[in-house]
Amino acid sequence: MFLPVTRLRVFFFPALRRAVSAAVVLAFFTVSGAAAMPAPPQVSAPAAIVIEASTGKVLYAKNPYARHYPASTTKILTLLVALEQGDLNDVVEVSPRAAATEGSSLGLAAGDRIRLGDLLWGMIMLSGNDAAVAVAEHIGGSVWGFARLMNEKARQIGLTGSHFVNPNGLPDPNHYTTAADLAKLAAYGYKNPLFAAIVSAKFKTIPWREQPKGRTLESVNHLLWTYEGANGVKTGHTEAAGYTLVAGAKRDGVQLIAVVLGCRSDDDREADITKLLDYGYQRAVPYVLYEPGAVVKSVRVKGGPGLVPLTVDRFVAVPYFEGETAQFETVVEAPAELAAPPAPGTKVGVLRLVYQGRVLDVRDLVAGRAAPGR
């Protein structure tokens, strides 16, 4: 979708003189529109939020900082800690404690030996509480040791209203979170490609005991089938927590994350999430800055008249927030001059997309075919 740029300023100056002479071009875009703000959704959940993931922009919130039991949405953090601190090829021996864990289960038995990576698929797709404990004991030495790692990671990400004492979300007075924290946690997770693959999978076949063809898992997150663009994240339910859900969806490059906590039923949970995501896509729409092949900058060749165009090979887009003004910067880092024309397709620089001082994306700039200079 193309939207108007109401202001564009470009500056060019020498900079970054470290290993090579380089230049930085900054373009400041202010994007705005006249469309009226859509009416906010009416949700039954006592706590809810929907954000645009790349910017962290909050599009709607209801009691986002109220503490709630997270139930199995806890496993989002368990997955992240395991991906960052575990070796996915490690073979985990399932303890009697892990195998006996109550609630939703992967069906592990004491003494089972299973690859850590396969446990993670089962922990998320089937919401296996037993798998979560096996992961925690393997990486943290114990459930408490792993909980310590979880809380350290939560602080690093910037979660301010959460505390965790187990890897699966079984009720405990000292185990709680907020809608705002869960949205921030999921947004952090999507930066990891394997995290994104696990939480968005509908089916996955893993090795399983004596089954030569393995065992095919089917995700318990029904939203993956029912909502256009759905790509995660995690359901949850206990009597104490009610029905919880952290949901992700991606359309035209816009990644949304919606959270509901404390819903009364599965139907209420899915209805609320659908309303939040629908509202989010009314508010956040893509604005294309550069199409594939667009020339971002041209660089002169030393001692010659030729100019080498620097292009992007994919769409570069930003989320535009309906009814508001959003400011973005594109920062181009490339040599001020080239010694010789590079072969087409050679990486020459990078394009950084910045929102409110934070880098949203980094794209390679590649050489196009040199053109005669003037």
* Residues noted as catalytic: 72, 75, 127
**Helix-then-strand count for the chain, H and E:** 9, 19
Order the strands of the 47-52 sheet from edge to edge.
58-62, 47-52, 254-263, 242-251, 230-238
What's the rounded Cα separation, in Å, for the pair 256 and 247?
Answer: 8
Q: Which residues pair with 68 in a beta bridge?
A: 177
**H or E segment and range at residue 200:** helix 193-200
Q: Does residue 56 come out as left (phi exceeding 0), alpha (psi in the -120 to 50 range) or beta?
A: left
Q: Does residue 348 come out as left (phi exceeding 0), alpha (psi in the -120 to 50 range) or beta?
A: alpha
Contacts 24+ apart (CB under 8 A), 225-228: 226/270, 227/273, 227/274, 227/277
CA dist 259 → 184, 295, 311 (Å):
10, 39, 38
